[in-house]
Amino acid sequence: LAMKMGLILVFFAYIVISSGVRILFSPSHSFDGDVLQALPTNSWLALIVRLLMTFVVAMTAPLIVVPCGEMVEGKLGIGVGEVRKRIAVRVLLCVSCTGLAEYAPGFVHIVSFIGCFCVSIVGFVLPPLFCIQLTYNTRKESMAKMDFISCCDVGALAIGIISTALTSTMTFGEMRRSQQ
């Protein structure tokens, strides 16, 4: 109950804050893309908002870098006792992300690209893939023939891969167009 109430509270807080930023900082009340670009440049309130956004990114970066670094370390076979290698992996991860962010046209486009890719993978590719894997693991001896459900899973997987490729390509193309 407490978690549900907290999520509802955060949901409404996001709606109020985003609506307030949209109304306060956009003179025309219509802008597309990055809200930080639409903020006025000569206002102390806009400066505070930018500083707070920088603070939020700086404080949440370890929450992203540490788990991602641990996954990479696990794939590379780096143990807990190999501190120098672990530090090198995390620093390399941060440097590569910083380099990518430097050459990207804007934060919104990077978030859009990563978001569309991840949502497509999680929503359309992984569920049918897991169903196929579960079906194969539970019926290894009878997998010679494909039943209707297995054909549907393979079809859904193919559609998921195609939709992921299309949405990622379209978002990447939009990112490239905005860079020119």
**pLDDT average, residue stretch 127-143:** 78
The pLDDT score that the predictor gives to residue 37 is 66
Whether residue 64 contacts residue 93, with contact meaning beta carbons closer than 8 Å, is answered with: no
Whether residue 168 contacts residue 120, with contact meaning beta carbons closer than 8 Å, is answered with: yes
The pLDDT score that the predictor gives to residue 134 is 83
When the pLDDT of each residue in the chain is averaged and rounded to a whole number, the result is 76
How far apart are the C-alpha atoms of 104 and 163, rounded to whole Å?
Answer: 24
Whether residue 62 contacts residue 46, with contact meaning beta carbons closer than 8 Å, is answered with: no
Whole-prediction pTM: 0.48
Two tokens at 44? 């102390």
How far apart are the C-alpha atoms of 100 and 110, rounded to whole Å?
Answer: 9
The pLDDT score that the predictor gives to residue 9 is 74
**pLDDT average, residue stretch 101-116:** 71
Q: How many other CB atoms sit within 10 Å of the CB of residue 89?
A: 21
**pLDDT average, residue stretch 81-108:** 80
Q: How far is CA 63 from the centre of its chain?
A: 14
**Terminal C-alpha separation, the chain:** 49
Is the sign of the CA dihedral 90, 96, 100, 101 positive or negative?
Answer: positive
Comparing 32-36, 149-153, 169-173, the range with the smallest average pLDDT is 32-36
If pLDDT is split at 50, 70 and 90, which confidence band does 3 have?
low
Q: Is the pLDDT of residue 179 over 80?
A: no
Two tokens at 73? 């370390």
State the chain's maximal CA–CA distance in angstroms: 71
